[in-house]
Each structure stands twice: as C-alpha cells, then as structure tokens.
Amino acid sequence: MSGEVHGLPEFYAGPPGRVAARMLRRRLRELWPDCSGLDVAVLGWGAPYLGLWRNQPGKRLALAPAGLGPMAWTGRRGNAAATVQETHLPLPDRSLDRLLLVHALEASEQTRALLRECWRVLRDDGRLLAVAPNRLGWWSFFDHTPFGQGRPYSPGQLKGLLEAQLFHVRRRDSALCVPPFPWHFALKGAAAWEVAGRAVPRFAGLVLLEAEKDLFAALPAGAVAVRRRAVMPVPSGVRRDL
C-alpha cells in the first residue's frame, strides 16, 4: 500500500463516514443480497461493510493491507480479521466465493499484482466486487475524506484494469451521490440525493464493478507450430557440399 489513504477509523466515526457507509451498504445489499453458505472476504477496510453478511452461514474475513493499519472487527466464531500483504494473501488457491475490494485499489502501488492475487484466491465461479473513488465524483476532490486520497478511477479505467487481469465485468453500479458535506445537518437528505443521483451516475462518488474470473482468457489459445532444425556436426573427411 502507498499509505496515501489514512484516517479511516476517524472518518467512519464522524458524520460523513457514517453516511458514506450507510449509502454504500445499501448498494452492496442490492448487489449481493444473500451470501448464505459462501465464503466472503473484504480486502481493504471492511469493518463497516462485512457486517452485511455477518448472520449468514459461511466464513467472513476482513483483510487489511499493512499500509492501512490494524483493523478491529468482531465476527462470529471462526471468522477473522488480519493485516496482510496485498500481493501475498495468506489464503490457498480457490478458497473464496466472494471478494469485496473497498479502500484497496486507490491506495495500492501494485494494483495488477493485487488483482492477480484476487484472481488466485477466488473459486472458478467466484465474484469480485471492486469499489473505487470515481474520478468525476465530488468526493474525489476533497481530501478530508479517504475517497479524496489515493488514485481515483473512471468506470472505463477500472473496467480496463480488471479485464487486463483476467476478469470479466458483469455489471456496473455507483453509489454516494450526496456531496461530501462535513456537517451532520447537511447530510440529513443523503437518501434523497442518492435517489436523484441515479439519473446521472457518472458523477457519483464511487464506482462499483462486479466481475468474475475469465477462465477462457487464462487458457493458452494454442501455439503456432514452429519448424525446428536439428544441427549435427559434420564428421571429418566428409564433403560439406553433398
């Protein structure tokens, strides 16, 4: 991690963070309403969001890259929170059904390596949900929130990044249409802003892309046959012009 995204606990403890978490949870609940029996992990800062699936059966993991600092998360017995290296996740191959990236891509200095690790730990029918600050959104212009730090993405840039790392994008969404007001009284109309912002999603604060592993892209297409020549030494006394 680059360490550019900071102040996450303080942000989510204040009015803008509580509103941002509520609006994003609403979108996540619509995209992934039921994860019963599935193993789900959040890579980045997942404490405000992993609780969506807390009471559903299946493993729940909160993985915080080292640059973001330690994260406390209380789940059911058998679930865990851990600080990890983004390019070496401590998980076996094909061990997750769902993987949510939030506060991860914008802070990473090795996004391609991070996404390749995500590809590795997802099962063949697994899904990845990438959440990143929208380059055109209001939140990316104000550094008093974590969404204004690090690297923002346009929907096209994020789609291209995922596809380059062997993911197939299934659907696109957006969230956080309310302006990043720092005052509690100004955020009371966040739900109305969210409804109105659905008409112009390109200016929302967050881009959400759901993708699946592109297994066919990972398979070799077959190499073109190359004519090989065997070179043998010519014994002494044999004419070379034969």
**How many domains are there within the chain?**
1
- Can you give the CATH number for the domain in which 128 is found? 3.40.50.150
Model-level pTM?
Answer: 0.82
Is residue 224 situated within a structural domain? no
Domain assignment present for residue 177? The answer is: yes
State the number of CA atoms in the 13 A half-sphere of 119 facing the CB.
19
| In-domain check, residue 146 | yes
Residue 92 belongs to some domain of the structure? yes
> What is the pLDDT of the chain when averaged over all its residues?
82
User: What is the span of the domain harbouring residue 21?
Assistant: 8-216
Please check whether residue 32 lies inside any domain of the structure: yes
Question: Do the Cβ atoms of 187 and 179 come closer than 8 Å?
Answer: no
Q: Which pLDDT tens digit goes with each residue over 105-150? A: 998 989 999 999 999 999 999 999 999 999 998 888 888 888 888 8
| Cα angle 136, 142, 147; round to 5 | 70
Comparing 25 with 68, which gets the higher pLDDT?
A: 25
CB 118 within 8 A of CB 101: yes
In a domain, 223, yes or no: no
Q: What are the tokens at 31?
A: 């995209």
The torsion of the CA quartet 72, 147, 88, 27, rounded to 10 degrees, works out to 80
Q: Is 97 inside a domain boundary? A: yes
Chain centre distance of CA 88 = 15
pLDDT confidence band for 178 (50 / 70 / 90): confident
Q: Going by C-beta distance under 8 Å and a sequence separation of 6 or more, which residues neighbour residue 31?
A: 129, 171, 173, 208, 210
